[in-house]
Chains A and B, each alone.
Chain A
Amino acid sequence: MSEALKRINPRRPFQVTAEGLKRIVLGVAGEAGASVHVAHRDATPKPLRLRGEPTGQHLVIAHADRGALTAHAHEAIAAAALLADAATAVTVLVFGDLSEKLAPFGADRVIVAAVGDGAHFDPDRELAVAAEQVARLAPRHIVMPDSAIGDGDLGRRLAARLGVSVATHVVELAPTGVAASWRGGAEMARRDLPRMLLLDPGTTDLALPFSGAGERVEIEVPPFPDSRYRDLGSPPVDSAQLGLEDADFIVSAGNGVADVPTLLALAKTFDAAIGASRVAVDDGRFARHQQVGATGKTVSASVYMAIGISGAVQHLQGIRAVRHVIAINTDASAPIAQRADLTIVDDAQAVMEQLLEATRGRNFAPGVTP
């Protein structure tokens, strides 16, 4: 009976095409389960949105954190690009060092105001720069992310300074107008497009059929001599006391982690909070409050190190807002590799030990000098 069944190896060698599709090529020999060749996706560049010389522009203003903008700020750029017609350029004014490209989000010109650390509180100086750029560029609309602090704060300062029409906490926008939720979500209020828009997160789809020109200029920012504010710095917070939701660096363990003490040591080195998959929680290695995912916590860390986690959809739901996912897994075709920005294919124990070895004696906690 059994010899009559034709067995197919489910992990036959496959290729990933430029479109991101898995292709099994018959007759190609290779190591079972390994992808033979990963072609780069998205090889064809998108067309430019702008046609010819622009006659006007929209301005987006945002703060950079560690060289990059938040997804929330990317949405503001995409929204400005979608609002713009073919003769309107999208200019982005960024405070702080920027190392990422903004053209994929629709930015035509990027003005980087080198104020050093974008997180430093110096509102008088930033407001002066922003107001000057608005006067110089005369933008049709000013779009900003309405983040809890930073952009939302600067946006309100700018609106008050310019005295322009403004809509804050915008939840829906279109070329015809905006909507904001009032009275804690009980009411929806609509109006025509104001000059200035502060957008809540999640208003705009980042998938654009076009690209911006992405020219970059750096501007010098003179210090503001008699600023009324002085940033006295941030006291270090003990990451171990932070909830997972608040953590910036999370080391997370799944079923592939057998040695919990090594993982805890690794988390301590990186000053990271500890997360776990449901399987690791269910079998008692971690506590329930450490579970990440659909039935656990939703996290928004900058770094999420997924060690021995397969990346089931229920788990991925919890890490949607994470900026950088690093996976360590013996299986290169685990779903987590589709989500991770860096996937290390190896035994978790070996890599964790080498990481500890390489960082021996170091501690990345703020305020601890190595």
Chain B
Amino acid sequence: MTATARRIAVLAALGRNPVSGKARPNRDDLLALELARQLGGDLTLIHAGNPDEAALGDYFAYGASSLDLVPLADGGDVASALVTRLAGYDLILAGSRAEGGEGSGLVPYLVAETLGLPIVADVIAITLGDEATEVTQALAKGQRRRVRVTLPAVIAVYPKALVTPRYAYARRLAGRVTTYVAPAMEPVASPWHREAAKKRPVKFRAAETKSGHARMLSAIVAEARGGAVIAAGTPADKAQAILAYLRLHKLIDW
């Protein structure tokens, strides 16, 4: 690939096993790590959180060799803590969503905005060039899109990217953690209140002010939502009607 070794950072969060609740590497971030490993270059993992978490070592088993750790209390501002260690990288890779806490998928965007870097999400493949990188994005319905983006850049990896992280215990023992000082940050209370998910979410709908009869009518009308019916004409006319419909709604290119 490229002659000069690229400096690549992978943002790593901790997830939780959905059954046991035990901490483990975040699945999406493991995909980012594996994609970064395949690119070669000089790779560093960066984590903001509790420095005593043993599960961080598992990232070494999956192929990281060094980890920069920024201590951060639970509920702290992850993006601000991460950017303190992100200067000078050519490529910053992240998973799409953290499975541990909020999982908003916002962190890579906040990091990119703070550092003034471009960001491409839902990436499944990366080819590094000298000043730019070409990435392939996964779109809806099996479509792909290739995008050229200038370096340095932030890349968020598609959750179903076709890479398989592999665990090796020997690597787990060889990893090295560097702990940095925590950035001075005002603690802010999270606006979120968490509760166990029990009920199904309630749909947001207009307050019902109609009479019972009107409600019944609207329920029936909602079901009978048929469109145009064409019964007259020859089969050839009807075939043209179908093509006209498809053309009208830009569903075929003609």
A and B associate: yes
A-side residues, CB < 8 A to B, are: 16, 19-21, 34, 38, 41-42, 66-68, 79, 82, 121, 124, 147-149, 152-153, 156-157, 159-161, 165-169, 171-174, 179-192, 194, 202-205, 207-210, 228-235, 237, 242-243, 246-249, 270, 300-303, 305, 324, 326, 332, 337-347, 350-351, 353-355, 357-359, 362, 364, 366
Please state if B249 and A338 are interface contacts (CB–CB under 8 Å).
no
- Which B residues lie within 8 Å of A67 (CB)? 249-250
Cβ distance B210 to chain A, nearest Cβ, rounded Å: 7
Cβ distance A200 to chain B, nearest Cβ, rounded Å: 9
**Cβ-defined partner of B221 (8 Å) among A20, A68, A343:** A20
Please state if B204 and A232 are interface contacts (CB–CB under 8 Å).
no
**Cβ-defined partner of A209 (8 Å) among B102, B103, B149, B210:** B210
B147 within 8 A of A: yes
How many chain B residues touch the partner (CB < 8 A)?
82
Interface of A is mostly: mixed
- Which A residues lie within 8 Å of B65 (CB)? none
Please state if B191 and A204 are interface contacts (CB–CB under 8 Å).
no
Please state if B141 and A246 are interface contacts (CB–CB under 8 Å).
yes
B54 within 8 A of A: no
Please state if B140 and A149 are interface contacts (CB–CB under 8 Å).
yes
B217 within 8 A of A: yes
Which residues from 105 to 139 on chain B have a C-beta closer than 8 Å to any C-beta of chain A?
105-106, 109-110, 112-113, 118-122, 134, 137-139
In the complex the two chains form, what is the Cα distance from A343 to B231 in whole Å? 8
- Which B residues lie within 8 Å of A248 (CB)? 141
Given contacts A183-B16, A342-B228, contact A347 B246 (CB under 8 A): no
Please state if A19 and B220 are interface contacts (CB–CB under 8 Å).
yes
Please state if A302 and B235 are interface contacts (CB–CB under 8 Å).
no
In the complex the two chains form, what is the Cα distance from A34 to B242 in whole Å? 21
Please state if A343 and B228 are interface contacts (CB–CB under 8 Å).
yes
In the complex the two chains form, what is the Cα distance from A157 to B108 in whole Å? 10
Please state if A205 and B205 are interface contacts (CB–CB under 8 Å).
yes
Please state if A302 and B145 are interface contacts (CB–CB under 8 Å).
no
In the complex the two chains form, what is the Cα distance from A165 to B190 in whole Å? 11
- Which B residues lie within 8 Å of A339 (CB)? 225-226
Given contacts A248-B141, A342-B228, A347-B235, contact A355 B243 (CB under 8 A): yes
Chain B residue with minimal CB distance to A205?
B205
Please state if B204 and A41 are interface contacts (CB–CB under 8 Å).
no
Chain A residue with minimal CB distance to B191?
A191
Chain B residue with minimal CB distance to A353?
B235
- Which A residues lie within 8 Å of B217 (CB)? 19
**Cβ-defined partner of A303 (8 Å) among B122, B140, B218, B246:** B246
